[in-house]
Amino acid sequence: MTTLLDKLDTLKTRHDELVELLSDPDVLSDHNRMKEYSKERAALEPAVQAHGEYSRVLSDIRDAREMLETAEDHEARDFARSELVELESRCEALEDRIKRLLVPKDPNDEKNTIIEIRAGTGGEEAALFAADLFRMYTRYAESKRWGVEVMNSNPTGTGGFKEVTFMVEGDGVYSRLKYESGVHRVQRVPATESQGRIHTSAATVAVLPEADEVEVEVKKDDIEVDVFRSSGPGGQSVNTTDSAVRITHKPTGLVVTCQDEKSQHKNKAKAMKVLRARLYEQAMAEQEQEMAEARRSQVSTGDRSAKIRTYNFPQSRVTDHRIGLSIHGIDQFVDGDLDQMIDALITSDEAEKIAEHT
């Protein structure tokens, strides 16, 4: 049976290899390899530190047990027993930390994120809910000092969105927002409801890690680019030139439209970012499908068809169905106070992965 120390030994060996590689002239002259190895070494530093600390604690425990067995007087035995209790407590806490370190990191966690929100069932009320979700994530991003840039939107005349796509940029964005993918359901009395009846509507959210050109190569011959005049309610966002861009990826049939910028060049650049993110997500989904028979994650990070959360306004309650957590104070939640929910989702996912890898 592989022990925690054995696993740490393996990581320390790899760390030592990387230290040697980073002093190799061939690596020093290769910027990409330097960047890759430096990043990997930095990621292994906490495990190497834990390796030394864990080894010392295990050695101290052995010494304390030996002292307890060989001590000839009560005072020495009491001292050894006290030391052993303290050391075993430290060891237990250290092992918990090591188990977290041994869980493979999601390589996308530090990436910027593209979020797509689409109104689902519920007509105009669903479009208004989609706008509420957009505002909720925008407020949350502001609280984290992340940047938000709208990539494309299809607004309705009453202030809702049929769909809206936007980029969120900052440290650790995907690690916090990746659990938001899925169907979000709302129960409330719509502003247009004269009888005071509660309606149920829905919107879908897709959270995509930004993919760069190295990760996802889009060949020129594989895309078809169409330009047209953008449109929107009220005439404000209607252009008089063909600035809107529609890109069709012929191998997959994926279609991306961007029309929010007045520049055709900027719309095309944004559309390509969204297309690469969707292709990257598609590749990840295929990998997940291959692993699905061996592991079915409780906390979904990508299935946009799964109902993940209900926003019940009459009872001022938000419930996440994956972890069974309900939070009261819905007004604060939709105003961007998401940390309690996101922290709980991360903790649940982390606990499952720890159980799987130890």
pLDDT one-digit tens code per residue, 281-300: 888 777 666 545 444 444 55
CA distances from 306 to 35, 289, 291, 331 (A): 38, 15, 18, 24
Task: Verify that 182 and 314 share a domain, yes or no.
Answer: yes
Residue 140 tokens read as 């949350």
**In 3-state terms, what secondary structure has residue 41?**
helix
- Dump pLDDT digits (tens) for 234-251: 444 455 567 889 999 988
Q: What is the pLDDT of residue 326?
A: 96
Pair 194, 57 in one domain? no
12 and 142 together in one domain: no
Look at residues 72, 102, 132 and tell me which one is the last residue of a structural domain: 102
Answer whether residue 231 shows pLDDT above 70. Answer: no
What is the domain range of residue 166?
A: 113-352
Tell me the torsion sign for CA atoms 53, 356, 282, 109: negative
pLDDT (mean) for 44-51? 90
Are 98 and 18 found together in one domain?
A: yes
Q: 108 lies in a domain?
A: no
Check whether residue 225 and residue 129 sit in a common domain.
yes
CATH of the domain at 120: 3.30.70.1660
Classify 215 as helix, strand or coil.
coil
**Separation of alpha carbons 50 and 209, rounded Å:** 30
Residues 220, 252, single domain; the answer is yes
Q: Quick one: pLDDT band at residue 60, thresholds 50, 70, 90?
A: very high
Which of the 8 DSSP states describes residue 184? E
Is position 242 within any domain?
yes
Based on the fold, state whether residues 28 and 159 are members of the same structural domain.
no
**DSSP β-ladder status, 317-320 and 325-328:** antiparallel
Same-domain status, 206 and 72:
no
Of the chain, the percentage scoring pLDDT greater than 90 comes to: 44
Q: Give me the pLDDT at residue 299, please.
A: 54
Report, in this order, helix, strand and coil percent for the chain, each rounded to 5.
50, 20, 30
Token representation of residue 74: 């009560």
Flag whether 146 is in a domain: yes
Establish if 51 belongs to a structural domain: yes
Report the number of distinct structural domains present in the chain: 2
